[in-house]
Chain A
Amino acid sequence: MARMAAQAARADDPVTREIIRGKLLATVDEMGIVLARASMSPVIYEVLDFACGILDAKGELIVQTNGITLFTGTFGEQLASIRRRFGDTIRDGDVFMTNDPYEGGTHTCDIALIKPIFIGGTLEAFAISVAHWVEVGGSVAGSISPDAREIYQEGIRFPGVRVCRDDKLQQDIVELIRINVRLPTMALGDLNAELAAVRIADTRLKEIYAKYGAVVVHETYHHILESSEKLSRAAVRALPDGVYRAEDWIDGDGITDEQIKVCVEVRIKGDEISFDFTGSSAQRPGPINCAYGALLSAAKTIFKAMVDPQAPSNEGWFRPVKIICPPGTVFTARPPAPTGWYYEGSAQASELVWKALAPLAPERFSAGSYMSLCGTYIGGRNPATGEMFVHIEPAVGGWGAADNRDGTAALIATTDGDTYNYSVELMEAKYPLRVRQYALNIAGGVGAGRYRGGHGAIREFEILGDEAFTYCGMGRSIEKPWGLAGGREGSNNYLDLHTNGTHRTLSRVPYVALKKGDRVAVVTGGGGGYGAPRTRPAEDVAADVKNGYLTPEGALEDYAVAVSSDGRLDQAVTDALRARGA
């Protein structure tokens, strides 16, 4: 009893608030652990395509854990949609399910569960978990059809349904899922994993409320939001007031190679900032469209990167932000537009905001990157086992240079996160494929600059079976990663195809049949440079030649540095060249 009295006295104690905040963060971490442990799908437990969060009774995000960035801004919209739909019928023991891109979601594969948390009969919070299910039905296995023209081809859609009542799964809905998906065991396994995650949040929140009392916990919620908002506003205030624009082109929608114009106007005034995407192209027939929730995530991801990349995310950080875009654009598609490949559109929205803000806060950003996950599918029949196989892999690529160092080579794109590439040894043991090289893409080059971009990668496969195919969808295949502060552009992503004695370079491939001995190389681009190339110290250029990142010809052409192929610098010639400005 002595202990309880001591704690009650600490109602406005900042240390107690900090300890509760720590417990809330540990709770969302635990949700993530529970979800990943119980999930049957490698997309969840290996690619970490999931997120968990806790929102307060008003619907503001208090804590979140993310495996990838794509869910940065979706929770609030999804909860708002559930509350609009269910209003005051929300009861203790309910759990709601939604995967509708048009109700705050992303694509149909991402299923969110939302559990209202009641403590002593009062609605205190909401726990939410979202995860990518491997299969939700639709026109192709995996539910992400590269040439879908309507969302109906992308599987079953839950607009927001009460999947639990009195804490029991509604068997009707379970059966509805079972009959609509190709891998029901896995889908229902993931449903249970997500359910376990929101339930553990319920248990932990009840412990926290019991120990500290509602007043102190509310105070902590308030403090979390307010302290983040304060830092966020200070960061915006530090930026010069004004209107900043960026535009870019999406290199095709999956169906055609027609370039799609997108743009943003960033308006900063005092401690408020708005991102206005008005003027971006109309929604497309292909699946590259984003709905509004995905756009929020895309813009908030970059804003968070600017104000404080490492601090835990909550709604407070985003209070100074307004995101504007009329309905019906490629970023704010309306039904029934398909959104399966929304992550490619979302990457473009992120890069737009990034491009507009980078000159204002160079200490937080780098130049343009290879950007696209370059998702490539290689499949067919395994001649050894007779079984069908599909190898699906996002590719790593070059990132842009920063204002104090070269760009990072061969790194996963912004939309993903702690996502691993596939081991060559594991892959060759599993599939009838031989990797001929896994190397940096030196020939493609990087954006030159005072600091240069990082290199992309080449993953070259040789097909060992006679019955095989490939398809892929790559962005940044026409437009190049942008340079910053006088740095040059990086290079493009593409698929290099050697089949039947012919050689082709492609970037959006619906389906190509392959035979034994054919070769497919996934080639990703190098990042953009930062600062004028001629200001790069000659020794750094020489070191790049010595390390084989750059040829002596490239050194001369891009940097006006004379260096031998083994990396010896000719200072006199270099001085003369640079003095001439030639």
Chain B
Amino acid sequence: MARLACDIGGTFTDLAFFDEAKGELVVEKSLSTPRDLTKGILDAIDLAELATKRVSHFVHGGTTVINAITERKGAKTALVTTKGFRDVLEIARGNRPDLYNLRFEKPTPFVPRALRFEVRERCGPNGETVEPLVLADLDPVIAQCKADGVEAIAVQFLHSYAAPAHEAAATAYLRERLPGIPVTASHEITREWREYERANTAVLNAYVQPIVLRYFATLETALRGRGIQGPLAVMQSNGGTTSFAWAKEHPITLVESGPAAGVNAAALIARLTGEPNVIYLDIGGTTAKCSVIEHGQIKVTTDYKLECSRINPGYPVKVPVVDIVEIGTGGGSIAWFDRSGALKVGPVSAGAEPGPACYGRGGTEPTVTDAKFLTGALDPEFFAGGRIKLDREASRRAMKKVSDGLSCSIEEAAVAVIRVADADMINTLKLVSIQRGHDPRDFMLVVGGGGGPMHGAALGRELGVRETIVPRYPGYFSAWGMLVTEPRRDFVQTALTRASDMKLERVRNLFADLVREAEHYFRSDEGLKTDGFRFDHAIDLRYLGQEHSVTVPVNIESASVATILDDFHAAHEHAFTFRLADTPVEFVNFRLTATAKIATPALKPINAEGRSVAKALKSKRVVDLGDDGRVEAKVYDRDLLPPGTVLDGPCIIEEASSTTIVHPDQQMRVDELGFLRVAERH
């Protein structure tokens, strides 16, 4: 039997296929087909000539959800909410991060005011009913939704995280009377407090649902048409998979599906290499994404915001999402000059179409990939496994814009673009780790994505990390990550309680409820074959008077209220440098991560047979490494380097999906699993 994973990105659709009988991994790439994403998957399957009938387990990751939101192509959505609060979606949090902009514009709500309806009902913070739900108030809402051609509805009532009954009743009423229109109840997506965030989450779920329903229907038909048997799973943003069926009801949980798989894979590498603390950097076409892995575990939070930036408050989505920071520098990022004449790179990107100038598909702007190419880092004949022939003349024409601006040669301009791009990434990576209370010098850097290995060694040196690791198949990292991902769901329940009033029994009961919910959830997934479950418990706590909380892992077998509090004080001190021993503590959220254990393909050591450094040596070429000057570097074929190989920089290691550059004074070793590990030579 075999497992198949497909990751649809902006430029490429990546595929990873693992044949369990042969123990063999096959990877393949096709160009993404934005108009009908299914086609890209089928193209990749055809290119790889896969025996799809052997596939017993399929995992999918992609950008359908985030694209529908980014391009504003979702459904016409209505919101039903508590009387007095329909404007909450528009008021939002009222913040203005773009401080000096006196024409600041808030993100526009996804539901216009005319489609935000109020009904009489009210619950209080302890779950008490203050005012009963008046179901009759929904009748005019139903009529209006029909008249206006509404395609999806979100329902969100105040305090429904604690008292979901009103919301559930109203939702049932609407579903019964509006068949064919999907209705999202906020408590079905999240049980966390904060009314604006929960409303926005429910609204976005409703907004993408009709699109996702259509997409999965098409995909399912296509896959079954190729004879793929067994369960169809999809990668969620929390670093776990779920069934198509569940994802159709909770599509917003797929918002960062692709990147989450990469982070998950990086965590696996952390565990495989025995290096538990890792900064993961994935450099793709449009952006780079980074995540910090501590103790071999990914960090999942519910603080995700779509379209958030230094000047944009974005849209909060309270579903579990791997803690990822996006950097506006990718391979396609365009170099330009600001008004003062300073050279900048990104965030505008040449994207997949037309892509960097060197792709020869009509791009005329100088990009990071062009710069890498012109410095000699890339082999024009061997890019993306030879799938794209790089066009030197087009690339030089584009880079001339930079060389004119700097009054220098085209080669010098290319080096300048890389220096600026690398500096931006360094600054962000440093701040990301510092913000999370870490020093990069205690970490390893794991790089993925087509562009990661090209920049990795230079970034690793500047960050001062101990080692930079280039995993196998870096250009297929997310797809590979999906193959090794287990089904997972994160549950959260807000239950604000003073520590002095908290009893261990209540803690246990709250978690027992969540465990029951988790078991029910996995049982309802009929195709799931599992070797049992793993439950990880955690609690958010805070000092009285604080608004933010700190998440503390809890061993439910041995914990007492006192040990939980001790752990909280310590965790607070780690995150914020101080503890307040005399201040009362509040329990805020109870979090359960439920994972179904399934057999995933193991990464086997690479075989030395048929490999040698001599065979791997392909050629030499001159590459300009900026601060390290112009050097002649030997070029090796990664697939022919035996384990245990040690090479001194400068050298270049090529493989079909990526190119690794080792700088002077660095040393690269191939470990037994076939990972490239680059460190400073001392």
Using CB atoms and an 8 Å cutoff, list the residues of chain A in contact with chain B.
Answer: 2-3, 6-7, 14-15, 17-19, 21-23, 25-26, 29-30, 33-34, 37-38, 40, 42, 45-46, 66, 68-69, 185, 189, 193, 196, 227-228, 230-231, 301-302, 304-305, 308-310, 313, 354, 364-366, 396, 399, 402, 405, 408-412, 414, 416-421, 423-426, 428-429, 434-440, 457, 460, 546-549, 567
Q: Which of B91-99, B276-284, B349-357, B651-659 contacts A (4 or more CB under 8 A)?
A: B91-99
- Contact: B95 with A420, CB < 8 Å? yes
A15, A42, A228: which contacts B340 (Cβ < 8 A)?
A228
- Report how far A425 CA is from B81 CA in the complex, Å: 14
- Contact: B86 with A439, CB < 8 Å? yes
B83, B90, B130, B342: which contacts A227 (Cβ < 8 A)?
B342
- Contact: B547 with A42, CB < 8 Å? yes
Taking A68-B99, A310-B98 as contacts, is the C-beta distance between A439 and B85 under 8 angstroms? yes
B102, B344, B577: which contacts A364 (Cβ < 8 A)?
B102
- Contact: A30 with B102, CB < 8 Å? no
- Contact: B84 with A439, CB < 8 Å? yes
Among B87, B193, B437, chain A packs the most CB atoms within 10 A around the CB of B87
- Report how far A301 CA is from B547 CA in the complex, Å: 29
A310, A405, A424, A547: which contacts B158 (Cβ < 8 A)?
A424
Residue in A closest to B338 when the chains form the complex, CB atoms: A311
Q: How many residues of B contact A (CB 8 A)?
A: 71
- Contact: B193 with A429, CB < 8 Å? yes
Residue in B closest to A37 when the chains form the complex, CB atoms: B576
A23, A66, A548: which contacts B99 (Cβ < 8 A)?
A66
- Report how far A6 CA is from B578 CA in the complex, Å: 43
- Contact: A305 with B158, CB < 8 Å? no
- Contact: B84 with A366, CB < 8 Å? no
Using CB atoms and an 8 Å cutoff, list the residues of chain B in contact with chain A.
Answer: 83-88, 90-106, 112-114, 124-125, 130, 158-159, 161, 193-197, 311, 313, 339-344, 406, 416, 419-420, 423-424, 427, 430-431, 434-435, 437, 496, 545-548, 575-578, 580, 627-629, 664
Given contacts A416-B96, A426-B193, 8 further A-B contacts (CB under 8 A): A2-B664, A17-B342, A18-B342, A33-B434, A364-B102, A417-B97, A418-B99, A457-B91
Taking A15-B420, A309-B98, A416-B96 as contacts, is the C-beta distance between A3 and B580 under 8 angstroms? no
- Report how far A411 CA is from B339 CA in the complex, Å: 30
Taking A2-B664, A3-B628, A6-B627 as contacts, is the C-beta distance between A364 and B158 under 8 angstroms? no
Distance of A423 from chain B, by nearest CB (Å): 5
- Contact: A15 with B106, CB < 8 Å? no
- Contact: B95 with A440, CB < 8 Å? no
- Contact: A409 with B90, CB < 8 Å? yes
- 19 A-B pairs in the complex with CB atoms less than 8 angstroms apart: A18-B420, A19-B423, A22-B424, A29-B431, A30-B430, A38-B576, A38-B578, A40-B580, A305-B101, A366-B103, A417-B95, A417-B97, A418-B313, A420-B95, A421-B93, A425-B193, A425-B195, A429-B193, A438-B85
- Contact: A436 with B84, CB < 8 Å? yes
Interface residue SS majority, chain B: loop
- Report how far A313 CA is from B100 CA in the complex, Å: 10
- Contact: B159 with A425, CB < 8 Å? yes
- Contact: B161 with A425, CB < 8 Å? yes
Residue in A closest to B579 when the chains form the complex, CB atoms: A40
- Contact: B114 with A547, CB < 8 Å? yes
List the 4 closest A-B pairs by CB distance, nearest first: A437-B84, A396-B94, A227-B340, A309-B100
A2, A33, A429: which contacts B629 (Cβ < 8 A)?
A2
Taking A310-B100, A364-B103 as contacts, is the C-beta distance between A423 and B194 under 8 angstroms? yes
- Report how far A30 CA is from B87 CA in the complex, Å: 36
Taking A15-B406, A305-B102, A424-B195 as contacts, is the C-beta distance between A411 and B94 under 8 angstroms? yes
- Contact: A37 with B100, CB < 8 Å? no
- Contact: B94 with A412, CB < 8 Å? yes
Q: Which residues of A contact B90 (CB under 8 A)?
A: 409-410, 440
Residue in B closest to A459 when the chains form the complex, CB atoms: B91
Distance of A544 from chain B, by nearest CB (Å): 9
- Contact: A425 with B406, CB < 8 Å? no
- Report how far A231 CA is from B342 CA in the complex, Å: 12
Distance of B451 from chain A, by nearest CB (Å): 20
Taking A436-B84, A546-B114 as contacts, is the C-beta distance between A365 and B578 under 8 angstroms? no
- Report how far A113 CA is from B344 CA in the complex, Å: 33
- Contact: A305 with B576, CB < 8 Å? no
- Report how far A438 CA is from B81 CA in the complex, Å: 12
A45, A231, A396: which contacts B91 (Cβ < 8 A)?
A396
Taking A227-B341, A429-B496, A439-B85 as contacts, is the C-beta distance between A423 and B96 under 8 angstroms? no
Residue in B closest to A308 when the chains form the complex, CB atoms: B339
- Report how far A424 CA is from B342 CA in the complex, Å: 45
Distance of A550 from chain B, by nearest CB (Å): 11
- Report how far A107 CA is from B43 CA in the complex, Å: 66
- Report how far A25 CA is from B406 CA in the complex, Å: 23
Taking A33-B434, A417-B99 as contacts, is the C-beta distance between A408 and B106 under 8 angstroms? yes
- Report how far A402 CA is from B197 CA in the complex, Å: 28
- Contact: A3 with B434, CB < 8 Å? no
- Report how far A301 CA is from B101 CA in the complex, Å: 10
- Contact: A412 with B664, CB < 8 Å? no
Distance of B631 from chain A, by nearest CB (Å): 9
Among B97, B103, B341, B496, chain A packs the most CB atoms within 10 A around the CB of B103
- Report how far A365 CA is from B104 CA in the complex, Å: 10
Distance of A577 from chain B, by nearest CB (Å): 24
- Contact: A309 with B101, CB < 8 Å? yes
- Contact: A418 with B94, CB < 8 Å? no
Residue in B closest to A369 when the chains form the complex, CB atoms: B102
Residue in B closest to A420 when the chains form the complex, CB atoms: B93
Distance of B431 from chain A, by nearest CB (Å): 6
Q: Which residues of B contact A429 (CB under 8 A)?
A: 125, 193, 496
- Report how far A14 CA is from B664 CA in the complex, Å: 25
Q: Which residues of A contact B85 (CB under 8 A)?
A: 424, 437-439
- Contact: A38 with B577, CB < 8 Å? yes
- Report how far A418 CA is from B424 CA in the complex, Å: 23
- Contact: B97 with A418, CB < 8 Å? yes
- Contact: A418 with B545, CB < 8 Å? no
Taking A189-B578, A412-B94 as contacts, is the C-beta distance between A19 and B112 under 8 angstroms? no
Distance of A29 from chain B, by nearest CB (Å): 6
Q: Which residues of B contact A189 (CB under 8 A)?
A: 578
- Report how far A6 CA is from B93 CA in the complex, Å: 49
Distance of A524 from chain B, by nearest CB (Å): 10
- Report how far A310 CA is from B338 CA in the complex, Å: 12
- Contact: A411 with B342, CB < 8 Å? no
- Report how far A448 CA is from B406 CA in the complex, Å: 49
Residue in A closest to B310 when the chains form the complex, CB atoms: A310
- Report how far A409 CA is from B101 CA in the complex, Å: 15
- Contact: B102 with A354, CB < 8 Å? yes
A15, A231, A396, A460: which contacts B419 (Cβ < 8 A)?
A15
Taking A15-B419, A18-B342, A26-B431 as contacts, is the C-beta distance between A548 and B95 under 8 angstroms? no
Taking A305-B102, A365-B103 as contacts, is the C-beta distance between A18 and B578 under 8 angstroms? no
- Contact: B423 with A22, CB < 8 Å? yes
- Report how far A230 CA is from B105 CA in the complex, Å: 28
A42, A228, A366, A436: which contacts B545 (Cβ < 8 A)?
A42
Taking A230-B340, A440-B90, A547-B113 as contacts, is the C-beta distance between A419 and B195 under 8 angstroms? no
Q: Which residues of B contact A46 (CB under 8 A)?
A: 547-548
- Contact: A14 with B113, CB < 8 Å? no
Distance of A53 from chain B, by nearest CB (Å): 14
B91, B104, B112, B629: which contacts A6 (Cβ < 8 A)?
B629
- Contact: A185 with B580, CB < 8 Å? yes
- Contact: B437 with A37, CB < 8 Å? yes
B87, B313, B546: which contacts A440 (Cβ < 8 A)?
B87
- Report how far A84 CA is from B93 CA in the complex, Å: 43
- Report how far A230 CA is from B339 CA in the complex, Å: 10
- Report how far A313 CA is from B99 CA in the complex, Å: 11
Q: Which residues of A contact B106 (CB under 8 A)?
A: 408-409, 411
- Report how far A19 CA is from B628 CA in the complex, Å: 16
- Contact: A30 with B434, CB < 8 Å? yes
- Contact: A439 with B102, CB < 8 Å? no
Distance of A202 from chain B, by nearest CB (Å): 16
